[in-house]
Amino acid sequence: MKIIKDLNAISSTIPLSLSIGMFDGVHKGHQSIIKKLNLMAEQKNLESAVFTFWPHPRTVFNPNDDLKLLNTIDEKTYLLEKNGVQNLFLKEFDEDFRNLTGEEFVKQILVEKLNVKHLIIGYDHTFGKNKSGDFQLLQKMAPEFGFEVEQVEAVDFHDKHISSTQIRNALSVGNVKEAAEMLGYVYSVSGEVVHGKKIGRTIGYPTANIAVNPIKLLPKKGAYIVDVYVKNNHLKGMLSIGTNPTVNGNSLSTEVYILDFNEEIYGEEISVNFREFLHDEIKFESMEKLIERLDEDKKITEIYPF
């Protein structure tokens, strides 16, 4: 997949089948768009492309909005490529860009820069200043500027349209299985293993402390069954998101105890997939009670089917 960040450097004559949007999560709704995108590209002898932006527009319009995303930019890029997208246009969402009207975006970006011949958008997509661009505007402008446009219907899950917001809501209550069903893959986080307080090793449960990208959404505080990828190993693990209240912790951490593993992995990149929510974060009355619960969680994790 070709990744283009500087639109000013584009002088491509390659005609495109393109879609626009944040594509946060690259979930089943997005996947239905990409499937159509790739099909049209093949049928019409075009190249498939996605036009997306960074950072998220919400954080530009409201800098105090502590929005967490389902994907880092690297994760989103990987998922788009995995789904067969040939070109990714990654535009900084700056002042100039946010002030383009819908019509200006179509003329200056889609037509003059990107040579779009077939445009596919989601069922509720709007673009341009004050959301002045929508499907009706595209239908009106398409004949004049020589491109076709179509709108893809929503994909539903439990009678609701799948959306990035719905998935964030599921994760915020620990429902990682429902999130996975809407995503079409198991939700994960990754990061470098960093030094923590090393309390776990004193009670027989040494944990790897993961430095997760601060833009990445963490599921609800609590304990989870996860599978772990580290140093070319695929292993079972018990992951905790929380502040370690039993030992009066006050900073949020993401720590994983990896079953049947005792290698030194500080500085290594580690990735965990959320399989099952075990329980909420608990403040135990003693370390003995904490160990008892860890023993119970371990038994459940050991027999969990992966």
Is residue 70 in a domain? yes
* Average pLDDT of the residues in 17-40: 96
State residue 263 phi and psi, 5-degree precision: -80, 155
Is residue 166 in a domain? no
Q: What is the pLDDT of residues 76-131, one digit of tens each?
A: 999 999 999 999 999 888 888 888 999 999 999 999 889 999 999 998 888 888 88
Is residue 92 in a domain? yes
- pLDDT number for residue 14: 86
- The CATH number covering residue 223 comes to 2.40.30.30
Q: Do you find a cis peptide bond into 55, omega within 30 degrees of 0?
A: yes
At 53, the amino acid letter reads F
Is residue 228 within 8 Å of 237, Cβ to Cβ? Answer: yes
Is residue 161 within 8 Å of 154, Cβ to Cβ? Answer: yes
Is residue 172 in a domain? no
State residue 121 phi and psi, 5-degree precision: -125, 160
- pLDDT number for residue 290: 92
Q: What is the pLDDT of residues 36-47, one digit of tens each?
A: 999 999 999 999
Q: How many domains does the chain have?
A: 2
Same domain, 127 and 38: yes
From residue 203, how far is each of 128, 252, 288 by CA, in Å?
Answer: 56, 20, 9
Same domain, 106 and 246: no
Is residue 109 within 8 Å of 8, Cβ to Cβ? Answer: no
Same domain, 144 and 223: no
Is residue 68 within 8 Å of 216, Cβ to Cβ? Answer: yes
Is residue 114 within 8 Å of 61, Cβ to Cβ? Answer: no
Tell me which residue range forms the domain holding 256.
Answer: 186-303
Q: Which residues contact 94 (CB under 8 A, 6 or more apart)?
A: 60
Same domain, 203 and 153: no
Report CA 232 to chain centroid distance, whole Å. 23
- The CATH number covering residue 60 comes to 3.40.50.620
Same domain, 51 and 126: yes
**pTM score of the predicted model:** 0.92
Same domain, 135 and 31: yes
Is residue 71 within 8 Å of 167, Cβ to Cβ? Answer: no
9 vs 4: which has the higher pLDDT: 4
> Across the chain, what does the average pLDDT equal?
92
* Average pLDDT of the residues in 56-77: 88
Q: pLDDT at residue 12 above 70?
A: no
Q: pLDDT at residue 303 above 80?
A: yes
**Residue 54 burial class via C-beta count within 10 angstroms: exposed 0-12, middle 13-18, buried 19 and up:** middle
Q: Which of 7-21, 112-126, 208-222 has the lowest mean pLDDT?
A: 7-21
Query: Both tokens of residue 279?
Result: 């329980």
How sure is the predictor about 11, in pLDDT bands with cuts at 50, 70 and 90? Answer: low
Q: What is the pLDDT of residues 139-173, one digit of tens each?
A: 999 999 999 999 999 999 998 899 999 999 999 99
Same domain, 156 and 227: no
Same domain, 155 and 191: no
Same domain, 92 and 221: no
- pLDDT number for residue 53: 87
Q: Which of 60-64, 94-98, 259-263, 278-282 has the lowest mean pLDDT?
A: 60-64
* Average pLDDT of the residues in 14-25: 94
